[in-house]
């Protein structure tokens, strides 16, 4: 497993090109699996289930992407984790639902390092935080694509992004609840801190 960390924002199209090539290389045996931790410049991505009416204000570039899900924002202050993984190697019977559960669990365990309780919600993609008084907000998003049982795309965790940038879309098609970040929850967490937490939790979830 290769861990790659980018210190400067990576253009979305460059990241997708890299993932496409890496998936092919993993499948052919030319490269190892990889996790790429990075940030993007401000942008919106449209998953395969995106609805046009959920793009409220295209103030940033909009990219159609082959991952599952609807509209998502990416930008500075958000840690992206792209995971290139061979499910045939890691699971006796390749199971995408199990893989998505593992991605969720990876994020939940990483957030717990900062005393934040991330939770799943039935019928809602992503990881959620209970804010009290009946309020909750999404702190992490997931979007997955699988080709010949090799995964790509992955997760995004809101560390300290400009939350107003989410106002240009209906995040993941869910209007009833907002978004939050580690910073908004009072956690002063650096990218290096979240990277260490992600590395720590990875092998406990994705067991070979």
Delineate the domains of the chain, giving CATH numbers in brackets: 2-205 (3.30.930.10)
Looking at residue 7, the DSSP 8-state letter turns out to be: S
Task: Give the residue numbers annotated as catalytic, written as ranges.
Answer: 172
Res. 172: pLDDT tops 90: no
Separation between Cα atoms, residue 90 and residue 85, nearest integer Å:
8
Separation between Cα atoms, residue 152 and residue 157, nearest integer Å:
16
% of the chain with per-residue pLDDT over 90:
87
Question: Taking residues 131-151, what's their average pLDDT?
Answer: 94
Report the interhelical angle of 96-112 vs 191-205 (nearest 10°): 130
* CB-CB contact of 140 with 91 (8 Å): no
Please write the tens of the pLDDT for every residue from 81-140: 999 999 999 988 999 999 999 999 999 999 999 999 999 999 888 999 999 998 999 999
Alpha carbon distance, N-terminus to C-terminus of the chain: 11
Provide the b/e sequence for 148-183 (b: ≥16 CB within 10 Å): ebbbbbbbbbbbbbebebbebbbbbbbeebbbbbbe
Separation between Cα atoms, residue 110 and residue 17, nearest integer Å:
27
Separation between Cα atoms, residue 118 and residue 138, nearest integer Å:
9
Query: Does an H or E element contain 119, and which?
Result: strand 119-121
Question: Taking residues 18-47, what's their average pLDDT?
Answer: 97
């Amino acid at each position: 497993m290769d861990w790659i960390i980018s210190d400067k924002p990576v253009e979305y199209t460059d990241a997708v090109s890299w993932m496409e090539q890496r998936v092919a290389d993993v499948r052919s045996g030319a490269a190892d699996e990889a996790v790429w931790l990075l940030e993007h410049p401000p942008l919106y991505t449209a998953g395969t289930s995106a609805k046009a009416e959920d793009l409220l204000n295209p103030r940033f570039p909009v990219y159609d992407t082959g991952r599952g899900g609807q509209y998502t924002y990416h930008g500075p202050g958000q840690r992206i984790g792209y995971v290139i993984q061979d499910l045939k190697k890691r699971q006796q019977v390749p199971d995408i639902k199990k893989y998505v559960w593992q991605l969720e669990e990876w994020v939940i365990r990483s957030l717990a390092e900062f005393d934040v309780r991330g939770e799943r919600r039935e019928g809602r993609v992503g990881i959620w935080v209970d804010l009290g008084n009946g309020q909750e907000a999404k702190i992490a998003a997931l979007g997955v694509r699988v080709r010949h049982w090799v995964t790509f795309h992955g997760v995004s965790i809101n560390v300290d992004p400009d939350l107003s940038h989410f106002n240009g879309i209906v995040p993941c098609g869910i209007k009833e609840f907002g978004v939050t970040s580690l910073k908004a929850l009072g956690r002063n967490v650096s990218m290096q801190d979240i990277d260490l937490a992600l590395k720590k939790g990875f092998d406990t979830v994705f067991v070979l």
